[in-house]
Amino acid sequence: MRLLSLPARVGPPIALAVSAAVAAAGVAGCTSDATESGSGGGTSSARSVSVKAGAKTCAVSTTTLPAGRHAFAVENTSSQVTEVYVYAAGDQIIGEVENIGPATRRQLIVDLPAGSYQVACKPGMVGSGIRTGLTVHGQPGSATSSAPAQAPMVAAVASYRRYVEAETAALVDTTAAFTAAVKAGNADRARALYPAARLHYERIEPIAESFGQLDPVIDMRIDDATDGTPFVGFHRLEQDLWQKKDISSSAATATALEANVRKLRAAIPTVAITPVTMGNGAKSLLDEVAKSKVTGEEERYSRIDLVDFQANVEGSKYAYTTLRPILAQRNPALVSTLDRRFATLLALLETHRATAGSAGSIPGSPFVSYDSLTPAQVKALAVEVDTISEPLGQITGTLAGT
């Protein structure tokens, strides 16, 4: 869930400065009308659509598009870090690019069947965004590649879908155990069970976020609450357990959370997964790390941010790994870089493992409290996230042949 504003306290003092540095990192611009591989391995023409994301405008070069694959060439013309989303009905996220620094260009490749959509530019990465409507008509172009060429794509999608389904099933089980402890009034047990539930949610966060009505009630932060939108979900219970230290009135929140997680699991079979959404998701998970994990914003009460950090990296790595055989044929240098960078980042995370009962340890978490990290340690994590972010951003373009 995207935060609306940062809290006054977000962990180690260097975190915000480091996050800003990560967000300012740019990725090279886009080509127009490139040849690409379709979601099933077919070949079609990538139609380029320019988006100028300003401080008060979200200018899209055309608002009527044929169905098919489109490469949105995003340019940040504002003085703030921004992000751009493509939404379907109900704010279902079709694709997103985050942490776009001023005067920076980024590319977002998405598959759009016929229907109505919105492009949302979010200067400052806050709020619901400045929106421009899109109308997509017709049918996508037919695939021309042979069945053998499609087979690796089909296998990658099938593998990732199994992963998402397994993680969602584990999320249901771990959330049920966590909420049962809350409803039983057993705060110590609930605190120890909280990290496991968070782990499974964070591994599939891009998929969960695609359900625009469910993600907010599962993963919202207090910054997102308004007079008409009460603070609910995981982080409301986190606040009750760690900050308020009172769960006597938390049963209703726990019951609703478990119900919404079960709804998420039931909805998973309906989500469209393609190599493009997988590539975008792998990048999105590391953008999420830069945006709310490195800053210490996400788990501000429990300080289990490193659990979420690891889960996002693992989810990204799994999506990449399923696509690796295809990428290895098309861009061996990219694969070599990503193999090395994932290993380095995960090894760095391992240095922050906790020993039960030691200083900085948190019951139920394999990592030390985020508060126990020094500014230098936070900066080292941010640098590694920044280093892997750019090559991750090349996955979708490599798959699409741009």
Structural domains counted in the chain: 2
Does residue 248 sit within a domain? Answer: yes
d(CA 24, CA 120) in angstroms, rounded, equals 20
d(CA 277, CA 284) in angstroms, rounded, equals 10
Does residue 62 sit within a domain? Answer: yes
Does residue 5 sit within a domain? Answer: no
Domain boundary residue among 137, 161, 192? 137
d(CA 21, CA 392) in angstroms, rounded, equals 18
pLDDT by residue for the chain (402 residues), tens only, comes to 443 333 333 333 333 334 443 333 333 333 333 333 333 333 345 689 999 999 999 999 999 999 988 989 999 999 998 999 998 887 778 888 887 889 999 888 888 889 999 999 999 888 889 999 999 998 765 444 445 567 889 999 999 999 999 999 999 999 999 999 999 999 999 999 999 999 999 999 999 988 888 999 999 999 989 888 999 999 999 999 999 999 999 999 999 999 999 999 999 999 989 999 999 999 989 988 887 788 888 999 999 999 999 999 999 999 999 999 999 999 999 999 999 999 999 999 999 999 877 788 999 999 999 999 999 999 999 999 999 999 999 999 999 876
Instruction: For residue 65, give the H/E element and its range.
Output: strand 64-66
Does residue 29 sit within a domain? Answer: no
d(CA 276, CA 323) in angstroms, rounded, equals 10
Does residue 35 sit within a domain? Answer: no
Q: Are residues 88 and 159 in the same domain?
A: no
Q: Are residues 102 and 173 in the same domain?
A: no
Q: Are residues 345 and 235 in the same domain?
A: yes
Q: Are residues 241 and 327 in the same domain?
A: yes
Domain boundary residue among 109, 137, 165? 137
Give the distance between the most distant pair of CA atoms in the chain.
Answer: 61
Give the residue numbers spanning the domain of 396. 15-20+146-400
Q: Are residues 229 and 104 in the same domain?
A: no
Does residue 194 sit within a domain? Answer: yes
Q: Are residues 245 and 302 in the same domain?
A: yes
Q: Are residues 250 and 390 in the same domain?
A: yes
Strands (E), 78-213: 82-88, 92-100, 105-112, 115-121, 130-137
Domain holding 179: CATH number?
A: 1.20.1420.20
Q: Are residues 161 and 122 in the same domain?
A: no
**pTM strictly above 0.95:** no
Domain holding 125: CATH number?
A: 2.60.40.420
d(CA 353, CA 83) in angstroms, rounded, equals 33
Q: Are residues 315 and 394 in the same domain?
A: yes
Q: Are residues 96 and 157 in the same domain?
A: no
Q: Which of 225, 221, 220, 193 is nearest to 208 (CA)?
A: 220
Q: Are residues 160 and 133 in the same domain?
A: no
Q: Are residues 152 and 215 in the same domain?
A: yes
